Amino acid sequence: MGNKLVTFTDQQLINYQDCTFFTRKDILRVYKKFRDMKPDLVPMVMKKTEPYTFKMPIEFIEELAEFRENPFKKRIFEVFSRDLKGNLTFEDFLDMLSVFSEAAPRDIKVFYAFRIYDFDNDNFVGPSDIDTALLLLTRQELTTEERRQITEKVIEESDVDGDGKLSFIEFQHCITRAPDFLSTFHIRI
């Protein structure tokens, strides 16, 4: 019969299906996308610990068409990377694309959106996090005063307990009212 290259064992694929929102075919497509970033660097067959130890350097991931123009790309990669520096293992990459897939539930997307917006990793989206997001979103076209006013307005409208920052629940309440959240928190593979 034919010589078929086996990238993952059946058990690995079953495990990936259990842990993601992808089908077997999707997982193999994600692996092809991962490998195509740097084919001379990524092994054809992921053996033993390679799916979670081999790291794709961030500079190659940033060049993917799906992320090239995304102002949050570095932060997204940091949130999903095991090393917290944005270098992604295959499993990190698979998790990231799974969360951004159409099949991922809204609650999972909101959880990761919160983590992405929490730039200082203090488990709140505070004024400095909102200011950082505004700098990225507007490509630094707003003045400091304009960003301050927007930040104050966001906090005023979303901070239910009055502590000057958004908890996950307050963020969730705010983001789920955004009509285009699901369509913008999405990447097609």
pLDDT in tens, 48-97: 899 999 999 999 999 999 999 999 999 999 999 999 999 999 999 999 99
How high is the pLDDT of residue 5?
Answer: 57
pTM (two decimals): 0.92
How high is the pLDDT of residue 48?
Answer: 85
How high is the pLDDT of residue 1?
Answer: 44
Quote the CA–CA distance of 189 and 175 in Å, as a whole number.
24
52: which 2 tokens? 């979670």
pLDDT under 70 in the chain at which residues?
1-6
Quote the CA–CA distance of 167 and 169 in Å, as a whole number.
5
Q: Do domains 10-99 and 106-184 have the same CATH topology?
A: yes
Nearest CA to 87 out of 59, 107, 126, 116 is that of 59
How high is the pLDDT of residue 101?
Answer: 96
> Where does 106-184 sit in CATH, by number?
1.10.238.10
> Where does 10-99 sit in CATH, by number?
1.10.238.10
How high is the pLDDT of residue 175?
Answer: 92
Neighbours of 168 (CB within 10 A): 15
Rounded to 10 deg, the angle between the 168-176 and 106-117 helix axes is 120
In the chain, where the domains are located: 10-99, 106-184
How high is the pLDDT of residue 188?
Answer: 85
Asked if 151 and 127 count as a contact pair (C-beta separation under 8 A), the reply is: yes
